[in-house]
């Protein structure tokens, strides 16, 4: 693995670990409102702050030092580098087409909803 890939992989693992730590902290807060045992455990700083941080650090260490995961990540980066991305002009044009089609679809669904609602109201009277 070259140095550029190594930096990308490490930053990706770090971002994933931080996200998992944040998710665990949020789940602990939510579960403390629903379960008394979790609420009592959340009174301790080690549980409130330590568990998410330890989980994030453990996940990062596992990902960073597992040769199989590093090989897989390097292969993913190599495959992504092979992708031929469309030019900016084409991307902008396709984005405009998609926005217009979503707008037209929204109008069609809204009209159908209004007409069907009107018909049902007339049938109920």
Each residue of 7-57: pLDDT tens digit?
889 999 999 999 999 999 999 999 999 999 999 999 999 999 999 999 999
pLDDT reported for residue 19: 97
pLDDT reported for residue 18: 97
Residues in the chain: 125
Each residue of 64-120: pLDDT tens digit?
999 999 999 989 988 998 999 899 999 999 999 999 999 999 999 999 999 999 999
pLDDT reported for residue 22: 97
pLDDT reported for residue 37: 92
pLDDT reported for residue 31: 94
Domain edges within the chain = 1-83, 84-125
pTM (whole model) above 0.95? no
CA pair distance 62, 22, nearest whole angstrom: 18
Whole-number Cα distances in Å, 56 to 8, 33, 67, 102: 18, 23, 19, 39
The four Cα atoms 48, 50, 52, 53 give a dihedral, to 10 degrees, of 140
CA pair distance 122, 101, nearest whole angstrom: 32
């Amino acid at each position: 693995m070259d140095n550029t890939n190594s930096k990308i992989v490490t930053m990706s693992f770090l971002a994933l670990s931080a996200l998992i730590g944040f998710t665990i902290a949020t789940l602990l807060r939510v579960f403390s409102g629903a379960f008394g045992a979790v609420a009592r455990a959340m009174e301790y700083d080690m549980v409130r702050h330590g568990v998410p941080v330890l989980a994030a650090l453990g996940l990062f260490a596992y990902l960073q030092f597992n040769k199989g995961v590093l090989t897989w990540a390097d292969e993913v980066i190599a495959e992504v580098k092979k992708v031929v991305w469309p030019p900016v002009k084409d991307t902008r044009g396709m984005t405009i087409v998609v926005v217009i089609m979503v707008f037209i679809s929204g109008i069609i669904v809204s009209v159908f909803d209004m007409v069907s609602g009107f018909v049902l109201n007339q049938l109920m009277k």
